[in-house]
Each structure stands twice: as C-alpha cells, then as structure tokens.
Amino acid sequence: MSRFLMANQTLQKVLRLDPDNRVAKSLEKRIEYTLSALSYHGEPMSVAVDTSNAVAHKRRRNQLVLIVDQDERVLLALTERLSNLGFDVICAAGFQEAIEELGSFKPAAVVSEVNFENGSAGFDLYLWIRTNSATAAIPFLFLATKIDRDTLIAGKRLGVDDFIMKPLDEDVVAASIIQSLTHEKKFNGTH
C-alpha cells in the first residue's frame, strides 16, 4: 500500500503544478479506487471511490494477493492480470517491504520470487509467514528464473503450494493462485 500512497503524493504535486492534467487525474482516480479496495483488507481509510462501474464492482473477488518481486515489470504484469480477474493486489520489492505490508493486510495468497539480488531470499519470507500464527495458512507460490532439484524438494517438503517458472505466463500464475485458494477452501471446509 505504501507504493500507492507514495504515488498519490507525487500525483498531488503534479496536479498542483498542472491542475488540468488529464493523465494525472485519471491516475489519481485509479489510485483512489485501489486504495479503497485495499482498505477492505486492512484498516479503514477515507478515500473517495467512484462506484459507478457496477460491472467491475460485481467481478470483485475481494481476495487480496501479495506479489513480492524485485522486477517492477513482473509486479506490473501480474497486478494487471490479477486485477482484471477481480483480485485486489499489493506489491513489495523484497522481504522487508513484504513484512511491512503483512503488518497491515492479510492476503488470501502470496506469490514471491525465490531468490532476490539484495537482501533476504524468498524462503526467509516463506518461513516468516509460516511461523506467524496470523499468516501461517496463507497459500504461498514461488516464482523462479531457474530452480535446482534440491530447492524444489526443500520447498515441497516445507509445504510451498507451487513453483512457477519465469518468464512468466500471467494466466498460469492466475490459475495457480485460483487453484491454491480453491484447495485451501476445501481443506478448511469453507465455501
């Protein structure tokens, strides 16, 4: 969420300089809508929302997905695809940012890179989530550019729901998330 708040602050500066900037106004509405959707999953926020689009509102799954990847292109592509499928999405560029987001929101699923260039690895995030009682049952999927046999075996033994290879096919990621959420509902007896 911090990314959206920072983007909104930047847009406010642009709009103060150029109040008639249509692109900035359009982005501002998208950010406000996203913040409003995210507020459903966390603490209430006072954000104006345009609810005139009943079709989009009806398609909402009200399920939040946390995507953790250092590649902004991956974050943007997955956010766009999952949003089109009705998911709410928050993004983090690494372990620390993901932990901050998990302090504010409880996602329905987490999709994370296995290895980060800087800082903690994806397994650190996975273990943090599994050892925290509030997040222990959240489905967890790994993204990987390459994965060796030992890492795959370790992940499966620890209970990682799925490994998805890069380059990504956003539809495969979406199908894996939906399958994990469906499995989790059946396992917990909720419908």
For 74-99, write each residue's pLDDT tens digit: 999 999 999 999 999 999 999 999 99
What's the alpha-carbon Rg for the chain, to the nearest Å? 17
Is the Cα dihedral 87, 132, 130, 183 positive or negative? negative
Packing angle of the helix pair 122-131, 149-158 (nearest 10 deg)? 10
At 23, is the pLDDT very low, low, confident or very high (cuts 50, 70, 90)? confident
Would you say the pTM of this structure is higher than 0.85? no
Whole-angstrom distance, CA of residue 63 vs CA of residue 70 = 23
Strand partners of residue 89: 65
Beta bridge partners of 76: none
Of residues 128, 165, 169, 129, the one with CA closest to residue 148: 165
What pLDDT score does 108 carry? 95
Checking if the pLDDT of 48 tops 50, the result is no
Domain 61-188 has CATH 1.10.1200.10: no
Mean pLDDT of the chain: 80
Question: Band of the pLDDT at 136, cuts 50, 70, 90?
Answer: very high
- Rounded to an integer, the average pLDDT of 20-45 is 64
Instruction: Kindly list the strands in the beta sheet with 88-92, ordered across the sheet, starting from the edge strand earlier in the chain.
Output: 88-92, 64-68, 109-113, 140-144, 162-165
55 or 154: which carries more pLDDT confidence?
A: 154
- Domain ranges in the chain? 1-54, 61-188
pLDDT confidence of residue 69: 94
Query: Which two tokens mark 86?
Result: 């009705």
Query: What pLDDT is recorded for position 98?
Result: 93
pLDDT at 85: 92
